[in-house]
Amino acid sequence: MGGAQFFQYFLSGVATGSIYAIVGIGFNIIYNATGMINFAQGEFLMLGGMMAISLQTFLPLPLAITAAVAATGLLGVAMQIVFLSWLRKPDVLRMIIITIGLSILIREAALHVWDEKVHALAFWTGDETSSLAVLGARLSPQLLWVLVISGLMVAGLTLFFRFTLTGKAMRACASNGTAARLCGIKAPRLVTLSFFIAAAMGALAGCVVSPITQTQYDMGMSLAVKGFTCAVLGGLGNVGAAVAAGILVGVLESASIAVLPLAYKDVVALTIMLAILLVRPQGLFAGIGRKSGPLGQAHGGA
Amino acid sequence: MRAYARELPLLLLAGLVVGAQVSLSALKVDFYLTQLTMAAWYSLVALGLCLLMGYAGQVSMGQAGFFAIGGYTAAVISTTGMSSWLSIPAGVFVTAAVSFLVGIPVLRLKGHYLAMATLAFGFIVSRIIVGMAIFGQADGISDVPPYPLIAGLAITGKRPQRVENFYLAWGVVIVGLMLALNLVRSRTGRALRAIRGNEEAAAAAGIDVGRYKLAVFVLSAVYAGFAGACLTHFNAGIGPGEAGIMKSVRSVALVAAGGMANLWGTLTVSVVLTFLSLRGAFGLFDDAVFGGILVAIMLFAPDGVFSLLRHGIPSPRGFPRRAKGGR
């Protein structure tokens, strides 16, 4: 394999990895706010992509994407308000099953609204044949879009959590819900907000990858598992580490294509997850059930 | 009298099975027996998961993986001409071995982590099946021969043995149910319930939590693997769809709707829904029905559909649940 080709694999790995990272961050945001894992996280990417694909037929691309992101964000809010907000102290098993059920309902709804075919959003700039020469490698401009958009999302989120009052309040809730409430923070609203952020971010990620990886109604669950791999790899709740983990998983996955048949691509990420769980389960137990403040660690500059 | 009280429901079930066969055959609609046979085999998966998830409180999103391991092992062995009788024992053995090896690391996890890890396991199994030529890739394995039992009897979906296979499958279900019922009534069953309630407390009470969890995990996998192997012979084939995540989710839905720690409830819900699903009663909304059941049951009746009969629909806030522990 030549250097240029290696670079190409590497960059496409980084790009897919950053999408996994966005899914992982979505898990983290909701986990920090509620202590639960939203198994429907992957569906937000599918919904964002699918809606933008439908909207682009009569809207200019940027508007279609904006509308799709907003709609998915609101759907996340609706999901939280309708199905989850009124459960008092539900046990973990119950929450897992509810969000898995919701992910299936979303997926099946998508199957009936759209169809079982593979769809793709238009390339944001140029088309599938256009390419940029970077260090001798031919890259699709969309790859750069993926990198830029995910970079912006992570940066924006970091700034949000660190410098805005709302972001600080969310961190406060994550580290000590009771203390935060005593300080007058309205926790339920922040939980709803966390669903909006996670869903909207997922939808935007779904739009930016759609031209390259395409969008299909059943893509959500495997994305969710990979995103969770990143979240676990980085330590659940730790946003910054999820990015590094995502890139690592993406690059390994992309490198595996050179060695293993394409069919096993998905196995790589999942094996990594199982291996991590095998080697470091004690590190992963920390924080289950208790909402210790992992976001604080991520953003406190540790 | 007390001894009879335990066996009476099982005898009633056996009576129901005979009654179903007699009336369906008399009405000349014995094609229903085929789906009832398949529903019986599938119900074994749900019964196994009921022990693991309902009684021991350990969620598994990968039961279809075990089902597929049993089924594919049996299919490979019987179609490559290795042996005609080895297929089901080998299917069960391989499933047990895999679940043992997977269970050791995975069962150290709890809650979300366990759910995701088992989900990942299911994904890996389905990807390996699609990726390997020996498993027929996307086509699956077809032309699996009948599994010979004694005196010409075989596990097969062929018409002449339809009634025999119906009784065979239901006989196995009744035995499997009996085993499970005895297990949950035993010291082991109490240990499993203690683990579900509070692992630390169970360990403090002298229960070897790790060993019990692993044992029930392997047992639930064996139920699934055995069902997979038998159903593969019955259907004369198996496809990668059987390993899909949706199949695992279905089992979870069935156990949840049955009332979690409720073997009879799980069996009832499982047979009814699987039968309807196999008959195509849900049409294009097959998977959606199971997703909807999951959400609805967990929101409104976390103790299963049968709790509704006893207590009515609970108020949305603060479910009046069975007294659960102190206070």
pLDDT digits (tens, 9 = 90+) for B77-102: 988 877 778 899 999 999 999 999 99
B294 in any annotated domain: no
Sign of CA dihedral B19, B259, B289, B119: negative
Chain A residue numbers with beta carbons less than 8 Å from the beta carbon of B285 are 108
The CATH number that domain A3-123+137-299 falls under is: 1.10.3470
At B315, the pLDDT band (50, 70, 90 cuts) reads low
**DSSP secondary structure letter of residue B55:** I
Closest residue of A to B254, CA-based?
A97
Instruction: Tell me the mean pLDDT in the region A139-159.
Output: 87
Instruction: Tell me the mean pLDDT in the region A85-95.
Output: 76
**Confidence (pLDDT) at A221:** 86
At B2, the pLDDT band (50, 70, 90 cuts) reads low
pLDDT, chain B, mean: 86
B212 in any annotated domain: yes
**Confidence (pLDDT) at B314:** 57
Distance from the first to the final alpha carbon of chain A: 39
B258 in any annotated domain: no
B292 in any annotated domain: no
| Cα angle A34, A36, A41; round to 5 | 105
User: Per residue in B10-46, pLDDT tens?
Assistant: 888 888 888 888 888 888 887 888 899 999 999 999 9
Tell me what ipTM this predicted complex has: 0.81
Instruction: Tell me the mean pLDDT in the region B132-141.
Output: 83
B63 burial type by CB count under 10 A (0-12 exposed, 13-18 middle, 19+ buried): buried
pLDDT, chain A, mean: 82
B284 in any annotated domain: no
Instruction: Tell me the mean pLDDT in the region A79-101.
Output: 82
Instruction: Tell me the mean pLDDT in the region A150-172.
Output: 89
Q: What ranges do the domains of chain A cover? A: 3-123+137-299
At A186, the pLDDT band (50, 70, 90 cuts) reads confident
**Confidence (pLDDT) at A295:** 34
User: Per residue in B171-221, pLDDT tens?
Assistant: 999 999 999 999 999 998 999 999 988 888 988 888 888 899 999 999 999
C-alpha distances in angstroms, A5 versus A18, A28, A135, B248?
20, 34, 10, 40
Kindly determine whether residue A83 and residue B318, on different chains, have CB atoms separated by under 8 Å. no
To which H or E segment does residue A228 belong?
Answer: helix A220-234
Q: Buried b / exposed e across B135-159, counting CB within 10 Å, b at 16+?
A: bbeeebbeebbbbeeeeeebbbbee
Structure token digits, residue A31: 């986990």
CA distance B249 to chain A (A): 8
pLDDT above 90 for B289: no
B93 in any annotated domain: yes
The identity of residue A94, as a single letter, is R
| Three-class SS state of A214 | coil
Instruction: Tell me the mean pLDDT in the region A214-226.
Output: 87
pLDDT above 50 for B276: yes
Query: What percent of chain A shows pLDDT beyond 90?
Result: 20
Number of Cβ within a 10 Å radius of residue A111: 17
Question: What are the residue ranges of helices labelled H in chain B?
Answer: 2-26, 31-49, 63-79, 87-106, 111-131, 162-185, 187-197, 199-204, 209-235, 245-258, 263-278, 286-300, 305-311
Q: Which residue from A297, A291, A173, A165 is spatially nearest to A239, judged by alpha carbons?
A: A297
User: Per residue in A122-145, pLDDT tens?
Assistant: 888 877 777 777 767 777 888 888
Instruction: Tell me the mean pLDDT in the region A87-99.
Output: 79
Instruction: Tell me the mean pLDDT in the region A77-85.
Output: 89
Q: Which residue from B288, B284, B290 is spatially nearest to B42, judged by alpha carbons?
A: B290
A201 or A2, which is more confident: A201
Chain B residue numbers with beta carbons less than 8 Å from the beta carbon of A103 are 291
Look up the domain containing B166 and give its range. 2-244
**Confidence (pLDDT) at A72:** 95
B234 or A94, which is more confident: B234
At A75, the pLDDT band (50, 70, 90 cuts) reads very high
Question: Which range (B110-124, B137-151, B220-234) has the least confidence?
Answer: B137-151
Kindly determine whether residue B57 and residue A93, on different chains, have CB atoms separated by under 8 Å. yes
B233 in any annotated domain: yes
B272 in any annotated domain: no
Kindly determine whether residue B127 and residue A264, on different chains, have CB atoms separated by under 8 Å. yes
Structure token digits, residue A138: 């031919």
Domain count of chain B?
1
* Cα–Cα distance, A249 to A161 (Å, whole number): 25
Kindly determine whether residue A100 and residue B288, on different chains, have CB atoms separated by under 8 Å. no
The answer to whether A20 faces chain B, any CB pair under 8 Å, is no
The answer to whether A40 faces chain B, any CB pair under 8 Å, is no
Instruction: Tell me the mean pLDDT in the region A215-223.
Output: 87
C-alpha distances in angstroms, A29 versus A22, A23, B49, B121?
10, 10, 31, 25
At A35, the pLDDT band (50, 70, 90 cuts) reads confident
User: Per residue in A239-292, pLDDT tens?
Assistant: 777 888 888 888 888 888 878 777 787 888 788 777 877 776 544 434 444 443
**Strongest mean pLDDT among A272-286, B43-57, B267-281:** B43-57
